[in-house]
Amino acid sequence: MNTLTAARNRYTTKAYDGTRKIPPEKIEALLEVLRLSPSSVNSQPWRFIVASDDAGKARIAKAAQGTYGYNASKVMDASHVIVFAAATDMTAAHLESVLAQEERDGRFRIEGAKEGQAKGRQSYVDLHRYDRKDLQHWMEKQVYLALGGTMLAAATLGIDATPMEGFDFPLLDAELGLREQGYTSVVLLSLGYHGEKDFNARLPKSRLPRAQIMTFI
């Protein structure tokens, strides 16, 4: 399926067929797309927790109770659920890890390239930490870049998806021990195949016209 067709056909799934699982080769391809997600200055300030069985999904579903109970079935009936988490700080250890991986991948082909990359990335971290004072927000923006790319990739693979912010963030962080690891949950993504009760599958897509949202200069 090409990108435009996928964009036209994808929608937010409201109910899943709990009997259907995503084939291993498709979920592996999707997780590789997720790993390859872009981020500002290749900072990669994220962690992804993937649940594929009932026990794992039940842990995530604990955060979809009470006010957020409407999302519980979207977690439990989906084939897979991914917790998208952002780092709570851009640590020196993380920056060193990213730099070391870039070196292993052969990105520094000229003298001074490694030092220049480290300095440039640190300048952006310092900009958001000290000047704009929005480091956490900046890191969460990178997580949403990963979310968008993964959702489009899922559509090209014929996989239905549901992004969800409707869950108890502190509860999920505690359940998964995220804050102790230096992360905090940002958004969930359920993946699988829609069921008969998915009313949204039968509704036409609605978006504002191009003339209303685009300006050409």
User: Would you call 133 a catalytic residue per the annotation?
Assistant: no
Strand ordering across the sheet containing 160-164: 46-51, 80-87, 183-192, 160-164
What are the residue boundaries of the structural domains of the chain, listed by start?
A: 3-89+136-212
Instruction: Give me the tens of pLDDT residue by residue for the chain, a chain 217 residues long.
Output: 899 999 999 999 999 999 999 999 999 999 999 999 999 999 999 999 999 999 999 999 999 999 999 999 999 999 999 999 999 999 999 999 999 999 999 999 999 999 999 999 999 999 999 999 999 999 999 999 999 999 999 999 999 999 999 999 999 999 999 999 999 999 999 999 999 999 999 999 999 999 999 999 9
Distance of CA 32 to the CA centre of its chain: 12
Among the four given CATH numbers 2.60.40.10, 3.40.50.720, 3.40.109.10, 3.40.50.2300, the one describing domain 3-89+136-212: 3.40.109.10
By DSSP bridging, strand 80-87 and strand 160-164 are unpaired
Catalytic site residue from 165, 180, 196, 205: 165
DSSP assignment, residue 17?
Answer: -
User: Would you call 74 a catalytic residue per the annotation?
Assistant: yes
User: Under 8 Å CB-to-CB from 26, ≥6 apart: which residues?
Assistant: 157, 158, 159
Structure token digits, residue 147: 């979310």
Distance of CA 191 to the CA centre of its chain: 12
